[in-house]
């Protein structure tokens, strides 16, 4: 981690305070008040950027989720900027106060416990209301677990859907996976270690046996990215027991030759002429790689004359 005294100063130009410091997109930081979103490390203090350190040092106030967590980071960097709490439980009360300070000329930094604020962390409404009030908003970007997991997964990274935390209960979880299933892109979810195997099972049941990656303890001592088909990952974690630490799940898009809905209906219609719903679903599921549960549900609909 760079020593605070060695960090290059955050120039006005860096913050868009001089002509040419930003494009014409309307988000330049003018003189006066500003909301500054600051990304912090996700496990390795060395990942804080020089700009983030300067931004935190120069701020009039740092709004943080947990002052113990952010206090530790600031102490490490020798920064003594005042901290105020901004978390799910006090956000509605704190927002007008913070926006008022910015409107009065203060530079308010927003950090979360780790990573990029707003990414499954507080901040979205603060930014929304700051923008609506015509206040300056900028960002000192940096680490974010879903992006690091995607980059390391070995799965297509050109298009992806970040779907946040998977719900804890299986029925809601399958619903959330089902919603994401239709997108022909790589999927990214947050999950906890104790629920990993159950969630991998639901992912396989809804999506079929797609390629996936479990990214764990990123940037930390025991960083690990395990790649494989969902079935292989399930077998591994069943055998090894639940892993420790923080986890991002990345699941590849459906195979390009995966059967379309029309193909599926045609195959099922053919099979249903000579087979029971159960057998037709099993046969078509095996032929297409589509999850049995999904094919069975569609077979039932077709069997009932559904469109
Ligand atoms: N805002 C953060 C970011 O940009 O990375 C994410 C915050 S979210 C509340 C916390 C979740 O992110 C964890 O439960 C875990 O799923 C994931 N996560 C955070 N740090 C991680 C790490 N070092 N390795 C793997 N996953 C991590």
Residue 172 has pLDDT above 80, yes or no: yes
Residue 69 has pLDDT above 80, yes or no: yes
Closest ligand 1 atom to 146 CA: 5
Domain count along the chain = 3
Residue 10 has pLDDT above 80, yes or no: no
Closest ligand 1 atom to 119 CA: 1
Residue 306 has pLDDT above 90, yes or no: no
In a domain, 27, yes or no: no
Task: Verify that 137 and 162 share a domain, yes or no.
Answer: no
Residue 23 has pLDDT above 50, yes or no: no
- Our CA dihedral for 162, 166, 167, 169, rounded to 10 degrees, sits at 150
Instruction: Give residue ranges with CB within 6 A of ligand 1.
Output: 42-43, 112, 114-116, 119-121, 144-145, 190, 215-220, 246-248
The pLDDT, as a whole number, for residue 127 is 98
In a domain, 224, yes or no: yes
Average pLDDT across the chain, whole number = 88
Nearest Cα neighbor of 291 from 272, 271, 264, 251 is 264
The pLDDT, as a whole number, for residue 274 is 77
- Our CA dihedral for 88, 190, 196, 284, rounded to 10 degrees, sits at 130
In a domain, 19, yes or no: no
* Final residue in a domain of this structure, among 73, 108, 143: 143
Task: Verify that 221 and 292 share a domain, yes or no.
Answer: no
Could you tell me the sign of the dihedral formed by the alpha carbons of 46, 81, 85, 10, in that order? negative
Domain residues for the domain of 270 are 261-303
In a domain, 97, yes or no: yes
User: How many Å lie between the centroid of ligand 1 and the Cα of residue 145?
Assistant: 5
Residue 36 has pLDDT above 60, yes or no: yes
Question: Which residue shows structure tokens 């892993």?
Answer: 243
Tell me the pLDDT tens digit for each residue of 209-236: 999 999 999 999 999 999 999 999 999 9
Task: Verify that 189 and 243 share a domain, yes or no.
Answer: yes
Residue 267 has pLDDT above 80, yes or no: no
User: How many Å lie between the centroid of ligand 1 and the Cα of residue 142?
Assistant: 13
What CATH code is carried by the domain that includes residue 117?
3.40.1010.10
Pair 186, 12: CB distance under 8 Å: no
Task: Verify that 60 and 125 share a domain, yes or no.
Answer: yes
Task: Verify that 50 and 138 share a domain, yes or no.
Answer: yes
- The CA distance from 111 to 79, in Å, is 14
Q: Against a cut of 0.85, is the pTM above it? A: no
Task: Verify that 214 and 281 share a domain, yes or no.
Answer: no
* Final residue in a domain of this structure, among 119, 143, 167: 143
Backbone angles phi, psi at 156, to 5 degrees: -55, 130
Pair 111, 62: CB distance under 8 Å: yes
What CATH code is carried by the domain that includes residue 203?
3.30.950.10
In a domain, 25, yes or no: no
Task: Verify that 94 and 157 share a domain, yes or no.
Answer: no
In a domain, 137, yes or no: yes
Task: Verify that 230 and 276 share a domain, yes or no.
Answer: no
User: How many Å lie between the centroid of ligand 1 and the Cα of residue 271?
Assistant: 45
User: How many Å lie between the centroid of ligand 1 and the Cα of residue 58?
Assistant: 27
In a domain, 219, yes or no: yes
Residue 26 has pLDDT above 50, yes or no: no
Task: Verify that 171 and 245 share a domain, yes or no.
Answer: yes
User: How many Å lie between the centroid of ligand 1 and the Cα of residue 247?
Assistant: 7
Please state whether beta strands 246-251 and 83-85 pair in parallel, antiparallel, or not at all (unpaired): unpaired
217 Rama class: left (phi>0) / alpha (psi -120 to 50) / beta: left
Average confidence (pLDDT) over 284-291:
75
- The CA distance from 112 to 183, in Å, is 29
* Final residue in a domain of this structure, among 125, 143, 161: 143
Pair 91, 125: CB distance under 8 Å: yes
Task: Verify that 238 and 273 share a domain, yes or no.
Answer: no
Average confidence (pLDDT) over 276-290:
80
In a domain, 111, yes or no: yes
Average confidence (pLDDT) over 121-127:
98
- Nearest-CA residue for atom 11 of ligand 1: 190
- The CA distance from 35 to 130, in Å, is 8
Task: Verify that 268 and 238 share a domain, yes or no.
Answer: no
User: How many Å lie between the centroid of ligand 1 and the Cα of residue 73?
Assistant: 17
Closest ligand 1 atom to 116 CA: 4
- The CA distance from 78 to 73, in Å, is 9
The pLDDT, as a whole number, for residue 293 is 86
Task: Verify that 82 and 166 share a domain, yes or no.
Answer: no
């Amino acid at each position: 981690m760079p020593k605070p005294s060695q960090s290059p100063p955050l120039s006005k130009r860096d913050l868009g305070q001089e002509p040419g410091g930003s494009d014409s997109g309307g988000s330049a930081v003018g003189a006066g008040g500003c909301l500054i979103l600051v990304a912090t490390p996700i496990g390795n203090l060395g990942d804080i950027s020089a700009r983030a350190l300067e931004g935190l040092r120069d701020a009039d106030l740092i709004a943080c989720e947990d002052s113990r967590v952010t206090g530790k980071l600031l102490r490490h960097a020798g920064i003594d900027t005042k901290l105020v709490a901004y978390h799910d439980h006090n956000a509605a009360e704190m927002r007008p106060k913070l926006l008022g300070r910015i409107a009065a000329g203060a530079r308010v930094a927003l950090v979360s416990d780790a990573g990029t604020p707003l990414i499954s962390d507080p901040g979205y409404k603060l930014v929304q209301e700051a923008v609506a009030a015509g206040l300056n908003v900028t960002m000192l970007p940096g680490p974010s677990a879903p992006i690091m997991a995607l980059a390391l997964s070995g799965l297509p990274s050109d298009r992806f859907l970040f779907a946040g935390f998977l719900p804890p209960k299986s029925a809601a979880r399958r619903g959330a996976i089902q919603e994401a299933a239709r997108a022909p892109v790589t999927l990214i979810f947050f999950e906890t270690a104790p629920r990993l195997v159950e969630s991998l099972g639901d992912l396989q049941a809804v999506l079929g046996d797609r390629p996936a990656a479990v990214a764990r303890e990123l940037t930390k001592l025991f960083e690990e990215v395990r790649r494989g088909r969902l079935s292989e990952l399930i077998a591994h974690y069943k055998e090894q027991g639940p892993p420790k630490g923080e986890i991002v799940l990345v699941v590849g898009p459906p195979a390009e030759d995966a059967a379309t809905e029309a193909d599926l209906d045609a195959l099922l219609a053919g099979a249903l002429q000579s087979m029971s719903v159960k057998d037709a679903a099993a046969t078509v599921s095996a032929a297409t790689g589509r999850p049995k549960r999904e094919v069975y549900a569609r077979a039932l609909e077709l069997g009932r004359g559904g469109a």
